Amino acid sequence: MFKTILAVAALAFTQSLAFVPTPLTQLKAKKSPKTELRVSAFDNAPGATAPFGFWDPLGISNGLTPQDKKYKFMRAGEIKNGRLAMLAILGYALPYYYKLENFKDVRPGFDALLDLPGLVVGAIFLTMGFLDYNIFGERGMAPEGEYEGSLGGFFWKGPEDAEENLAMQNREINNGRIAMIGFMAMLAQDLVTNADFPFTEKA
């Protein structure tokens, strides 16, 4: 019981960070004289929120600026993967409760890959690759000055107010990060328990 309460509390805490992000610049403004935070060129970039600020533990962005094409490509990749993860969580859970008529015999979750014909699975991955390379990849990068999430011509329509717009971008990025972690956890739980969603008991 205690573990369940602890898990729920941790989830609520991470969700609160996603929905109410604090820009790193605000955190620095409140810091005590004895506290030092690393100044980064990305402190005002979307996704740089408390408590981690601009998260780059491997130093991939060292020597880059927010205007560099390499940075924009990596940021667009994070946003794209976050959006896919949010959709994937819904797509992974929904078949446990509802299926289209033509897919009644296809098991939900990871087992669907084993039930679908190989040509169908191959077509799915080929379509994903085509879209990623030709529409949502480097060719579909956001125009100069646009939010990196404006991929493939699907432009970001945020609030007119710059501060509100940044806050909304932060929410999308943080929710995408949580979704990527959550989806990997769903896959692991599905494989370990082999039970129906939400995978709380072994089959």
Give binding residues for chlorophyll a as ranges: 55, 78, 83, 114, 172, 175, 177, 189
Residues in binding site: 55, 61, 78, 83, 114, 120, 172, 175, 177, 189
Total residue length of the chain: 203
Q: Which helix (H) or strand (E) holds 82?
A: helix 69-93
Instruction: List strand residue ranges (DSSP E) for the chain, in order.
Output: none
Residues in binding site for chlorophyll b: 61, 120
86: its two tokens: 């949010």
Measured at the CA of 168, the angle between CA 29 and CA 27, to 5 degrees, comes to 15
DSSP sequence for 13-66: HHHHHHHS--BHHHHHHH--TT------TTTTSTT-BTTTBS--TT-TTTT--T
CA distance 31 to 51: 12
**155 φ, ψ (degrees, to nearest 5):** -75, 150
Residue 131: how many CA atoms within 13 Å on its side-chain side? 10
